[in-house]
Structure 1
Amino acid sequence: MNLLVIAYHFPPDGAIGAVRPYEFARLLPQFGIQTWVLTVRPEHARQLNPDFQPADIPDERIVRTAVHPARYDNIRLFVDKMKALLRLEQTRKAGDGNTARSGTGLRRKPLLLSCLLEMLEYPDRYAGWYDPAMRAVHELVQQVSFGAVYSTSPPRTCSLIARAVAERYRLPWIMDMRDPWITLVEGWRTTIKCPVVRRWHQKALDQCLQRANIVVANTPVLREHFENEYPWVAGKVRVLPNGITDTVQSAQTQYVRSDKLVIGHFGTIYGCRTTYDFLKGVSLWLQANPQNKKRLELLFYGESVEDVGGIASQFGISEIVQVHPPVSRTEVPAIMERCEALLLLAQQQPMQVPGKVYEYLATGKPIITMTESNSATGRLLQNMPQCYIAQNAEQVHQTMEQLWHEYSRGELFCDRSDYLTPFRYSSLTEQLAGWIKEAVDRFQETSP
């Protein structure tokens, strides 16, 4: 059977979202499913990484297309000019002494501007891929007879392309969702402010869920969300977590204590992810244990929307904090090896698990995770050895006390290989292959 895989992120895109579709496309032939991949050209990659190249997949089975500028890109300059004019208007009115009136206007204008931006970005900033992708599929189906289509999102555009392909060519569709369709924060509130755009997204999600033959959620919490909010889709929702490649082996060496307790964070800091409570908690611990300051080091590798160094200065610990630019995936393991413990930021992501958590687990090193205990990440790690869940600075303080005690005793290593076995991509791919075959069989039985 031939399967069309639709994935925006795919090697040499170094984004973590590229790993899952690549591993599935690479391993599915072992289970009797031949894969063709529809993706974008390397120049459109989110994080181009020349060292991350697709192996074991013939080049002729990877179809790469252009991406047209989306509405957002076309009008972004116009919006930037409008924002500049709003700032000038704010300054002028403040100078005229019209404080109350300008304040009211400023409460309204950002909402209107947010609505405009959200309309321009709908369904996402990758919407320019839709037309080139559909043309490429039309040419491809003239040459290859596909039995099913698989898509993985985000971006949402992947799901919309896959839905159109499934409809046009009468194919069963496996809709893989690595994240919720609309980003949710604490209290299950959507970050999309414009009610019109929320309705657009809700309608698009409803149509996709109705058309999909199998819906794959990558955490049990996301599955529970679908079952609660869309009871009619519960029968076709499956859980398939992100995983770890078979080439990444669990650390087997015994721990040797170094002169410093080095804690490393790897990845992008964005959205609700923040270092604030972690750094504040470390500061509180050092206030109680000032003698340990010279033996503690905090490393941050990756992009950040917040000023990590500035926050560290605010809490008086800037001398132990190092902020570095992103490094390639091939460099990360060696840097992790030099760390005594790892930091994971997953605040206010109730239904997602960061993809790198499995690579963290494979190191055998302690993991400090900033997240809520009932979140998908909290549930996953709460029973894992040497994994600490902290929600606030005081809990970080307590965690640092425990971590330092284990560091002093030379006990900062544990073998988690048994825990990781179900998360190997070879095992996950076998499950996915079974679901694909199930979807195809049912589709053929019900098709006229």
Structure 2
Amino acid sequence: MKKVLVITYHWPPSGGIGVLRCLKLVKYLREFGWEPVVFTAENPKYQFLDESNSNDIPAGIEIHKVPIFEPINLFKRLTGRSIQKPLQNVTNNSAKKKTFLDTLSIWVRGNFFIPDARAAWIKPSVKYLEKYLEHNQIDAIFTDGPPHTNTVIGMRLSQKFQIPWLADFQDPWTQVDYYSQMHIGKRADRIHRKLEQEVFQSAAKITIASPTWKKELESIGAKNVDVFYYGYDEADFRDYHPRTDSDKFIIFHGGLLGNDRNPQALFTALKELVDSSSDFRKKLEIRLAGEVDITVINSINENQLSDYVRILGMLPRKEIIKQYESCSLLLLPINIAANAAGRIPGKLFELLRAQKPILVLGPDDSDVKQIVEKTNAGKQYKYNDKEGIKNYVSTLFDSPESGSQIRPSKIEQFSNYQLTEQIAQLLNEISQ
């Protein structure tokens, strides 16, 4: 069996969606003729933990770890944040007004930590893996970025040992939405872009998370680019039993609900439905799991919906999936950003598998819209389309059977099992 070195920062017990991309790949690679060897961080500062993710690690695989220095705790101390609390994204989260130290820290991060805040991990990782590769046969390298520290580590090893390398981009590098918010100067920008171009030249194959981002990556020089979606794992839905609770109309969102995803038009539409229908007023319930920005809370209060909202806090994925069972409508707002058309939230694919109506808020040309409409899984509206949103919610409320009959079609192509087969085939191609 051929061996692939998988370089990833996110690994159990990391929580959130980012860890799943490599974890689910590693879970199924053996079934397609590839033995994964995982390299990850020994002492990472993960923002969210989910111990249940460890259940997906295949028995007996090699896992190598090297200590990592991360400046996150120093940043928290300097800016007066709690060491224990997760760090909210200060570039798009307004829960706390950015201070001078926030701005300075963002500038330092963008200009001195290249390609990202884990940059200090590159040299010790390359040194460790060089020794490993001198005595062990590896047929291909797979890296997942961001953090693009992973990408640089894989590139240096591929260049030295001439091992074919598949560079995966779950998010773009210089084209990512927050790149412009990092206050990156001309010198640092040149370094970022030079490294990015070096990746394009060195990688035998590149994958990225959406069709639009594939085109955008190709527009700046990337070659041999394929789309690799996040996907869903059928095993996670083994005990899933969707139902409709007749006494409640439940709208659910799980994950980060930042100020760039604030569904203001939805809240206004819900307020109007509450005011016009006593039945809707009795049955409405809004459940929000994960981080919720203060601007979202303000929008809820402005529309007098606080009595209908349950803030659930951070939940393990198993509990998130359990929440889907009783929901009437699943909310998926795409962040408002220049590259939003290519933004496919990883949770989309779990929502498809949940077999409940999905309300997507985002631009008309989004890849998410194409997927949702082609699979008959729901509807997408622009963020400010209050009337469209209102009519869709009203239709689902008035005709519950239309929601309970949602059966998205052709979603098997997005299963982690089939997506792993796709990556295995690419690894076969580059390692011949």
TM-score computed with the length of structure 2 as normaliser: 0.85
Kindly indicate whether residue 169 of structure 2 is the aligned counterpart of residue 177 of structure 1: yes
Give the aligned residue type for 1:158. Answer: N
**Alpha carbons 2:154, 2:165 under 8 Å: kept:** yes
Q: Provide the C-alpha distance between the structure 2 equivalents of 1:195 and 1:207, rounded to a whole number of angstroms.
A: 20
Q: Provide the C-alpha distance between the structure 1 equivalents of 2:253 and 2:242, rounded to a whole number of angstroms.
A: 22
Counterpart position of 1:87? none
Q: How many Å apart are 1:138 and its aligned residue?
A: 2.6
Counterpart position of 1:39? 40
Structure 1, 429-438 or 262-271: larger mean CA deviation: 262-271
Kindly indicate whether residue 367 of structure 2 is the aligned counterpart of residue 376 of structure 1: yes
2:314 to 321, 326, 344: 326
Q: What does 1:15-414 correspond to in 2, within 5 Å?
A: 15-41=16-42, 44-55=45-56, 57-59=58-60, 61-70=62-71, 115-182=107-174, 184-185=176-177, 190-196=180-186, 197-230=188-221, 233-234=222-223, 236-249=224-237, 256-270=244-258, 272-289=260-277, 292-348=280-336, 349-393=340-384, 395-411=385-401, 412-414=403-405
Structure 1, 412-421 or 201-210: larger mean CA deviation: 412-421
- Give per-residue Cα distances to partners, 1:71-116, cap 9 Å, x unaligned: x7657756889xxxxxxxxxxxxxxxxxxxxxxxxxx999877534
Q: Provide the C-alpha distance between the structure 2 equivalents of 1:38 and 1:110, rounded to a whole number of angstroms.
A: 32
RMSD over aligned Cα atoms = 3.0
Q: Provide the C-alpha distance between the structure 1 equivalents of 2:412 and 2:109, rounded to a whole number of angstroms.
A: 44
Assess, with a 3 A threshold, how the Cα gap between structure 1 residues 191 and 414 changes in structure 2: closer, same or farther. farther
Q: How many Å apart are 1:14 and its aligned residue?
A: 1.6
Q: Provide the C-alpha distance between the structure 2 equivalents of 1:52 and 1:64, rounded to a whole number of angstroms.
A: 18
Counterpart position of 2:91? none
2:11 partner SS: coil
Q: Provide the C-alpha distance between the structure 1 equivalents of 2:24 and 2:106, rounded to a whole number of angstroms.
A: 37
Identity of aligned residues (%): 21
Q: How many Å apart are 1:389 and its aligned residue?
A: 1.0
Counterpart position of 2:87? none
Q: How many Å apart are 1:125 and its aligned residue?
A: 1.8
Q: Provide the C-alpha distance between the structure 1 equivalents of 2:390 and 2:367, rounded to a whole number of angstroms.
A: 23
- Give per-residue Cα distances to partners, 1:31-77, cap 9 Å, x unaligned: 2111100012365333222222154524551112221134x765775
Counterpart position of 1:95? none
Q: How many Å apart are 1:27 and its aligned residue?
A: 1.4
**Alpha carbons 2:353, 2:408 under 8 Å: kept:** yes
Between the two proteins, the alignment pairs up a number of residues equal to 410
Give the aligned residue type for 1:12. Answer: P
1:64 partner SS: strand
2:342 partner SS: coil
Q: Provide the C-alpha distance between the structure 2 equivalents of 1:355 and 1:277, rounded to a whole number of angstroms.
A: 23
Unpaired stretches in structure 2, ≥5 consecutive residues: 82-99
Assess, with a 3 A threshold, how the Cα gap between structure 1 residues 373 and 319 changes in structure 2: closer, same or farther. same
Q: Provide the C-alpha distance between the structure 2 equivalents of 1:254 and 1:194, rounded to a whole number of angstroms.
A: 47
1:137 partner SS: helix
Q: Provide the C-alpha distance between the structure 2 equivalents of 1:288 and 1:352, rounded to a whole number of angstroms.
A: 35
Give the aligned residue type for 1:421. Answer: E
Q: Provide the C-alpha distance between the structure 1 equivalents of 2:238 and 2:408, rounded to a whole number of angstroms.
A: 6
**Alpha carbons 1:368, 1:389 under 8 Å: kept:** yes
Q: Provide the C-alpha distance between the structure 2 equivalents of 1:44 and 1:79, rounded to a whole number of angstroms.
A: 17
Q: Provide the C-alpha distance between the structure 1 equivalents of 2:239 and 2:399, rounded to a whole number of angstroms.
A: 20
Q: Provide the C-alpha distance between the structure 1 equivalents of 2:79 and 2:247, rounded to a whole number of angstroms.
A: 52
**Alpha carbons 1:282, 1:396 under 8 Å: kept:** no
Q: How many Å apart are 1:198 and its aligned residue?
A: 2.6
Q: How many Å apart are 1:416 and its aligned residue?
A: 3.5
Unpaired stretches in structure 1, ≥5 consecutive residues: 82-107, 442-448
1:123 partner SS: coil
Q: Provide the C-alpha distance between the structure 2 equivalents of 1:175 and 1:13, rounded to a whole number of angstroms.
A: 21
Q: Provide the C-alpha distance between the structure 1 equivalents of 2:242 and 2:141, rounded to a whole number of angstroms.
A: 45
Q: Provide the C-alpha distance between the structure 1 equivalents of 2:297 and 2:318, rounded to a whole number of angstroms.
A: 26
Q: How many Å apart are 1:131 and its aligned residue?
A: 3.0
2:318 partner SS: coil
**Alpha carbons 2:243, 2:404 under 8 Å: kept:** yes
**Alpha carbons 1:385, 1:414 under 8 Å: kept:** no
**Alpha carbons 2:258, 2:296 under 8 Å: kept:** no
Q: Provide the C-alpha distance between the structure 2 equivalents of 1:161 and 1:144, rounded to a whole number of angstroms.
A: 17
**Alpha carbons 1:282, 1:397 under 8 Å: kept:** no
TM-score computed with the length of structure 1 as normaliser: 0.82
Q: Provide the C-alpha distance between the structure 1 equivalents of 2:396 and 2:79, rounded to a whole number of angstroms.
A: 53
Greater Rg over alpha carbons, structure: 1
**Alpha carbons 1:44, 1:67 under 8 Å: kept:** no
1:10 partner SS: coil
Q: Provide the C-alpha distance between the structure 2 equivalents of 1:379 and 1:33, rounded to a whole number of angstroms.
A: 32
Q: Provide the C-alpha distance between the structure 2 equivalents of 1:23 and 1:109, rounded to a whole number of angstroms.
A: 38
Structure 1, 124-133 or 52-61: larger mean CA deviation: 52-61
Q: Provide the C-alpha distance between the structure 1 equivalents of 2:270 and 2:355, rounded to a whole number of angstroms.
A: 22
Assess, with a 3 A threshold, how the Cα gap between structure 1 residues 271 and 242 changes in structure 2: closer, same or farther. farther
Give the aligned residue type for 1:211. Answer: S
1:418 partner SS: coil
Q: How many Å apart are 1:153 and its aligned residue?
A: 0.9
- Give per-residue Cα distances to partners, 1:309-345, cap 9 Å, x unaligned: 3321112211111212111112112222121111112
Assess, with a 3 A threshold, how the Cα gap between structure 1 residues 31 and 384 changes in structure 2: closer, same or farther. closer
Assess, with a 3 A threshold, how the Cα gap between structure 1 residues 161 and 46 changes in structure 2: closer, same or farther. farther
Q: How many Å apart are 1:144 and its aligned residue?
A: 1.9
2:206 partner SS: strand
Q: Provide the C-alpha distance between the structure 2 equivalents of 1:173 and 1:358, rounded to a whole number of angstroms.
A: 27
